[in-house]
Every structure is written in C-alpha cells, then in structure tokens.
C-alpha cells in the first residue's frame, strides 16, 4: 500500500503533536480570551468534532505541511464520498507520491521506485505512471483510518489538556494548549467546524487546513495504469541478469557441498540445479528460468520477452569442482 514518504510526514507529525497537526491569528484588543481546564477543553471541542464530521460527510480537502531544518514536506488529501474515492499526494524533497483509493475496486498509486519505472519503459509503456492493486473489500472509511488526517481523528488525539480559548471578531475561535513541549492551536470557523491547526515545537512547524464541500476525484487514465501483477513480472525481468547469475552460482555451491569433498556426480548436479530453478520460478510465480541438459551438466537460461535478450550459464561437474560459465 502507498505510504512511503507519506510515512515520514505522518511520523514526524505524530512526534510533534501526538497526532495533531492556518497558523494562529494574533489576538487583537477586541478578542476575548478565556482559560479552560482540561475538562472544559474536552467539552468545548466535542461539538466542534461533531460539526466537522458532519460537514466532512459531503466531501473535504486538506493540505498539510511540515517545515523545519530539513527538506519541506507537504501533503494534500481530497475526499469524494459521492464516488467513494479519495486522492492523496505527498511531496518530500524531490520525491512525489500520489494515490487514488476507489471503494470496492482498489488502490492506484504512483510507481514506487526507479526499478518499477525501468520496468514499464522496458515493457514499451513509458506513459504508465500508476500501479493498480485490486481490492474489492476496500472501503473509503477504512482507507481514511489508515493515516489520513480526517477532522474527527485530529480532534480526538491528545487534546484533553488545559489551555485557552480566544474568540475573534469574525466568530472564529482559536483553542490553544500545550502537549508536552509542543504548542497546538486549533482554528474553528464561524460555522463551528475545524478549519485548520498549527503545531510548533523547536524549529519544526506543522500546519493543516480544511475545506468542506463536494469534491471531484477521478481515477487515472487507463493508458497511465498497469496492474500490480503485470508490473511484478516486468520488475522480475529487469532483475533477470542478476537473478539468473545468483541461481546458477548458488546451485553450483549446493552441488559441490552435497558431494562432501568427493567427485561431483553429473546426475546429482542436474537434480540440484533443477530443484533450485524450480524453487526460484515458484517464488516469482513465473516459468522464467529454464534448464537443459548438456555434456557433464546443464545450461540454465532465460529470455526477456520484451527485449528478446537471452541470458544463460553453463554449470558443469569437473572432478570435485563445479564450473559456472556465462554462455
């Protein structure tokens, strides 16, 4: 599941504010500030949570950023309940990851690494930007619970501390409390919904904003998507030269050890090589590597179906040794 550089952001946010993520507005002379006990803070935020959850049912969008002494991190979430879809994008330095969740269908995520990108290029599909993982049991609620800063989740995390409430002229409210060494400010809109949050500790600042209302999320175009199973096949063929080399030399080592210092028997060598090749093919769920008997041993070979390049090794018994040669 998509969550790599995203996990960097979420882990940092959790360490900063215990899971809490529009910078606070400076109080003016007309603002009214009241000190709240922990019990009063919980009571004040309860209707905010209820109103925010209700507003989010029609759709919502949030933007979260982390700034500090390292590369900036940012994330965007867009939730479209009418279509049962969600979109998220994370930027961390030069990395950019995107995912689309579709309830009852599965997850689209950006190609995870350079090897995956090399695979689709090798397969003659350079337009592919996403891999699709089918999951008919996927629900939007379950997906969002897996780390998305929903308004309800933000308002339920470690916010039972004493603090202050500042009511502004426009009807918006700031709730401020300190969670260990982090100052957390929650901004509530005049409508009573969570509109943003701000957490600061040391040189690090996390901010989050919310927009409520219908959103439109559409899945990636078909020509930009590859199935997970198909991508896995391509990735294995990208690794083919290294894999066939490893299988060949590992088989030779096994055959030599099986001889226990005696002469390596050709029949034993062939049996061991075929077993190792079968184990590898089962692991990758492909009949990728093949074995053919030759004089005093076997030839192990495989052909890339896209490049049509064949890689092969001969593995031969030679007295107490086993000789492996790329052929």
Instruction: Give me the pLDDT at residue 117, please.
Output: 96
What does the block give as tokens for 119? Answer: 């695979």
Q: Is the pTM of the predicted complex or chain greater than 0.75?
A: yes
Furthest CA-CA distance within the chain = 95
Per-residue pLDDT tens digits for 174-230: 999 987 888 999 999 999 999 999 988 888 888 999 999 999 999 999 999 999 999
> What percent of the chain is modeled with pLDDT above 90?
75
Instruction: Give me the pLDDT at residue 19, please.
Output: 41
At 23, the pLDDT band (50, 70, 90 cuts) reads: very low
Displacement of CA 134 from its chain's centroid (Å):
15
What's the CA gap between 188 and 193, in Å, rounded? 5
**Phi and psi (nearest 5°) for 176?**
-120, 135
For domain 5-225, say whether CATH 3.30.1490 is its number.
Answer: no
At 89, the pLDDT band (50, 70, 90 cuts) reads: very high
Instruction: Give me the pLDDT at residue 201, please.
Output: 85
Instruction: Give me the pLDDT at residue 30, please.
Output: 67
pLDDT at position 29 over 60: no
What's the CA gap between 143 and 147, in Å, rounded? 8
Beta-carbon-side half-sphere exposure of residue 285 (alpha carbons within 13 Å): 7
Per-residue pLDDT tens digits for 242-288: 999 999 999 999 999 999 999 999 999 999 999 999 999 999 999 99
């Amino acid at each position: 599941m998509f969550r790599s550089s995203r996990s960097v952001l979420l882990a940092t946010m959790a360490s900063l504010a215990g899971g809490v993520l529009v910078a606070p507005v400076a109080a003016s002379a007309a603002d009214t500030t009241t000190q709240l006990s922990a019990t009063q803070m919980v009571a004040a935020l309860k209707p905010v949570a209820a109103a925010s959850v209700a507003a989010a049912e029609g759709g919502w969008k949030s933007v979260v950023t982390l700034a500090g002494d390292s590369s900036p991190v940012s994330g965007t979430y867009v939730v479209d309940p009418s279509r049962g879809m969600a979109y998220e994008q994370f930027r961390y330095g030069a990395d950019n990851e995107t995912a689309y969740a579709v309830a009852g269908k599965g997850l689209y995520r950006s190609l995870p690494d350079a090897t995956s990108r090399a695979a689709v290029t090798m397969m003659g599909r350079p337009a592919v930007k996403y891999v699709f993982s089918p999951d008919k049991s996927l629900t939007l609620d379950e997906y969002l619970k897996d780390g998305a800063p929903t308004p309800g989740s933000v308002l339920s995390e470690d916010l039972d501390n004493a603090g202050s409430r500042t009511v502004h002229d426009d009807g918006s409210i700031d709730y401020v409390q300190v969670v260990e060494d982090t100052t957390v400010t929650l901004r509530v809109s005049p409508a009573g919904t969570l509109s943003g949050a701000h957490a600061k500790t040391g040189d690090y600042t996390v901010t989050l904003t919310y927009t409520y209302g219908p959103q439109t999320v559409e899945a990636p175009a078909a020509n930009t998507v590859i199935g997970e199973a198909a991508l896995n096949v391509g990735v294995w063929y990208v690794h083919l030269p290294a894999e066939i080399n490893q299988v060949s030399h590992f088989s030779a080592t096994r055959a030599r050890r099986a001889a226990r210092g005696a002469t390596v028997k050709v029949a034993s060598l062939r049996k061991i090589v075929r077993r190792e090749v079968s184990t590898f093919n089962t692991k990758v769920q492909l009949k990728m590597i093949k074995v053919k008997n030759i004089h005093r041993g076997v030839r192990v070979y495989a052909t890339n179906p896209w490049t049509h390049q064949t890689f092969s090794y001969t593995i031969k018994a030679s007295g107490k040794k086993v000789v492996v040669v790329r052929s």
